[in-house]
Structure 1
Amino acid sequence: MSTTSVLDGFSLLPMTPPDLVDGLPSVHQDAAAVTTAIHVISTERAALANLEQIYQTDRLAQENLARAVGQIVRTVRNGGKLVVCGVGKSGKIGQKLEATMNSMGIYSAFLHPTEALHGDLGMIRPHDTLLVISFSGRTPELLLLLPHIPSTVPVIAITSHMHPDTCPILSFHSSDMGILLPAPIHEDEESSLGVRAPTSSTTVALALGDALAIATARRLHNTPGRGPAEVFKGFHPGGAIGAASAAAVLTPSSMSITSISSDYIQSGSTASSEIVSFPRPASRQQPLITDVLVPLDQIPTVSAADEVRLLDVLLTAIQHPNAKSWVALSPSEIIPPSHIRSLSQSSNVDLSASALAALGLPFSVSRGDWLRVSGASTLDDVRRRIAKANSACGSRVKVVAVMHDANPEECVGVVEAEEVWGDCG
């Protein structure tokens, strides 16, 4: 064949390469992507298995986890909060942990260490606990911050270190004020995945943070009917979680009422000196006062290490959503929801209970001023009683005490008077 005929043959070939048969490179690329993703998942699963093994077998890790839970519970019960601190990806984990803690009724706040050094350090109060997240245990921003933390504030550290003596961020505190929660990984991320991006390290930190939140919630919320599940649902009225919770809630009229001792209520003023029992209607067309009451045994009593402050009252209301913002100051005094809402607008949460009363702010209502009505009363019956009491006493009834049908000396729950009027329509 001549050179000319060969060249003529090439000129007949198309310039665009032919389509690949069955798209093999594309298939190979997809398979490689899936293989890579599975490898990442497998690596992070191994990291979690390693973390589980540590807390199953390491006595110091177990003791420190129990200490951390106990410390956070004491902090919240004493009117303090958990301050979560971290930088970069650890900071993102910290923000998620703060949100989880708050959704469980564990008062928490996130603090960026750099912002703390420029004025936000005032967020940390003497009765708080600080939780820092740092895989290396030597994050520069945290090392700059920690010397300025009040000496009364314990520090919990989630880090890769297995012993507190090797962890730089715990070197500023004595052993009784520092708690190490080890969260190492089984192999470094560059060896596992070829890149040093935080992957396995953030996964184990997130898992340990979730474990800490759930364990703390179970210790903190241990009253029957007011456990972590009820608290969590109370803080999620919206979205799919709220919709699922609403669908599962029984109608108020079907709820079981548990009576408590009449020590809470003694006869006092004209408004509460007489109980008028109204016959239960033959038909259930008219709503009863029991349909809207809050059971008295679900209302928490505020507690504090020293004198009760406004902050203690507000925290108690937040941590007990089933009480619908009712808070007992003592067995003889109760704070209704409208007063809680008004007090929450105050800019000085350190005001004591006595100072609030001296300032004339709406606060607690004495049991002698509670209007006592029968549990068989309809809402219309109670409205008439409220109007009559308001006219006779010259002051407005704030709290309606619902008494047991069979035993008029036993209170089963309370209703705010303004809520009774609000149900007119």
Structure 2
Amino acid sequence: MSFPYTSGDTDGDALSTALHVITTERDALTHLEYLYRTNELAAKNLSRAVSQLVHTIHRGGKLVVCGVGKSGKIGRKLEATMNSVGIHSVFLHPTEALHGDLGVIRSIDTLLLISFSGRTAELLLMLPHIPPTVPLIAITAHTHPSTCPLLSFNSPDMTILLPAPLHIDEESSFGLSAPTSSTTVALALGDALALATAQKLHNAPGQGPAEVFKGYHPGGAIGAAAATAAAINSAISTPSTSMTTSPSLVSLEDAGMKLSLDDNQPTNSSIDDDGGGGGPICASPHFVPIDCIPTVLPSRHPSSSTDITNKNDEEIHILDILLSAIQNPSSKSWVKLSPTSVIPPRLLRSCTTTHKVDSLVSALQSRGEFVSIDASKWMSIRASTSIASAKVVLEETMGIGEMMLSSPPPPPPHHQPSSGRDDEEERRNIVISVVDDADPSQILGFVAGEDVHPSLFSPPSSSPANVSETTT
């Protein structure tokens, strides 16, 4: 069945309306550009907002975006854009915040509010409960902070107004006040903030915004283009090798987590040894905020249909570690066994390829197997420490042979002497905990030693061993 099609003035009216909307929104963007070119306060505040976000990320904090209605949808898009260029961001609905989600906001975070009116009720109800140390950025139609209710809760030095006014109100232009031009200018201003911040944040050679974006975008046409370029470069620089994929890691690869199965190789994307080092370690694309790292939970539970239960069902298996990594791609293959015990990506690959997926973690640990890295073995570095300085610390630590790692747990009775493999595993799985400058007891996230200084973890060249064969 087909619907009747009529042409004539109706089509012309529709096209005229559509073009009017496009023209009006284009003019709104032109007006926005002119404002930031000519208004000293607007230009200054945009620069302040960029600097504030860079400072927040350097400290290991994040951007929390809030908005309601269409502004909330713009906020979700900006959250995605920020994350794609390496600016850790989350979206928080103000109503959900008042019902338990306020814990998302930490004292080292920055809050971005999107509200054309500048007086959205849900946002006004939330603001009194925000920690006073949290800076506030507002995208709104107001052109001066003194007229914006959202900025009345904080001192001027803790607030930044990013004006996004319209040259003509939507009802006058379109006959209804549906968010159109207002959301267009808010989105454009948010995109400008994201890219300007990324440009200032990621300034190490070979680790600019473009490289960071490609690293966070392995899928789609962008990911395919980046993978093709990487494959071409790899084919030119290194001979091809064959590799058998472990069945236990097929799902990881399907989930977009490109893990090397060769434990002798550092992770594919490493900080360039010859350059970089200028930015702080917490701005590295390899830094993973602690909030993104899941704690492994047992996936098996006793059946309620029987009185006989197996206590092993309540314990953690290798499969549970694997599932935690798959289900939390933002963790970049980092998982926690507990708040004081982590499994870095290299060790996760080793565990999932060396042991059966139904192996009990507790059983492996009781045999002296190297499964996780306890807090006593972490190397702590302040968030503001440059990558170059972190490399020096690693060189000095490994050079003198006194790792900030304790020996593995004592073996059980009758355990065969270790061949030294566990000690070598510890050396190759250095965990760097990145801590807050102001409060070193607060861990902001983790980065693997091999990602900071990959050349230190390259496999040593081995000479042929003399093998003596005995005959019987």
Cα deviation digits, residues 349-371 of structure 1 (max 9, x gap): 999xxxx976456779852499x
> CA 1:314/1:221 → structure 2, altered by over 3 Å: closer, same or farther?
closer
Counterpart residue number, 2:31: 50
Q: Which residue in the other structure is 1:155 paired with?
A: 136
Alignment correspondent of 1:131: 112
CA distance in 2, matches of 1:27, 1:106: 50
Match of residue 273, structure 2, among 285, 296, 299? 296
Residue type of the partner of 1:345?
K
TM-score when scaled to structure 2? 0.58
**Shift in alpha-carbon separation, 1:394–1:139, aligned structure 2, 3 A:** closer
The residue aligned with 2:50 is: 69
Does the C-alpha gap of structure 1 residues 112 and 72 become closer, same or farther in structure 2, counting only changes over 3 Å?
same
Match of 1:344 in 2: 335
Question: Using a 3 Å threshold, how does the CA distance of structure 1 residues 195 and 350 change in structure 2: closer, same or farther?
Answer: farther
1:83 to 64, 69, 81: 64
SS of residue matched to 1:47: helix
Paired letter, 2:86 = G
Q: Does structure 1 conserve the Cα–Cα contact (< 8 Å) formed by 2:207 and 2:276?
A: no
1:413 aligns with 2:441: no
Q: Is the 8 A contact 1:221 1:227 kept in 2?
A: yes
Q: 2:287 aligns with which of 313, 317, 323?
A: 317
1:220 counterpart = 2:201: yes
State the TM-score, normalizing by the size of structure 1: 0.64
Q: How does 1:195-210 map to 2 (within 5 A)?
A: 195-210=176-191
Q: Deviations over 1:285-320 (max 9, x none)?
A: 77998998744347869958xxxxxxx69985249x
Verify: 1:114 aligned to 2:86, yes or no: no
Instruction: Report the AA paired with residue 123 of structure 2.
Output: L
2:171 is aligned to 190
Q: How does 1:274-289 map to 2 (within 5 A)?
A: none
Displacement of 1:345: 2.9
SS at match of 1:180: strand
Question: What's the CA shift for 1:247?
Answer: 2.1
CA contact 1:104–1:232 (8 Å) conserved in 2: yes
CA distance in 2, matches of 1:116, 1:242: 35
How far the C-alpha of 1:399 sits from its partner, in A, is: 5.9
Q: Which structure has the larger Rg over C-alpha atoms?
A: 1
Please tell me whether the aligned partners of residues 302 and 316 of structure 1 are also in contact (alpha carbons under 8 angstroms): no
- Over 3 Å counting, the alpha-carbon distance change for 1:367 and 1:302 in structure 2 is farther
What residue in structure 1 maps to residue 255 of structure 2? none
Q: 2:233 aligns with which of 251, 258, 264?
A: 251
Instruction: Flag the 1:28–1:152 CA change in 2: closer, same or farther, 3 A.
Output: same
2:146 partner amino acid: D
- Secondary structure of the residue that 1:206 maps to in structure 2? helix
Consecutive unaligned residues of structure 1, counting only runs of 5 or more, are 1-22, 257-283, 305-311, 320-337, 371-389, 402-410, 418-425
Secondary structure of 2:118's match? coil
Gaps of at least 5 residues in structure 2 are 243-261, 290-324, 326-330, 343-371, 381-393, 402-417, 430-452, 460-472
**1:251 alignment partner, SS class:** helix
Which residue identity lines up with residue 367 of structure 1 in the other structure? M
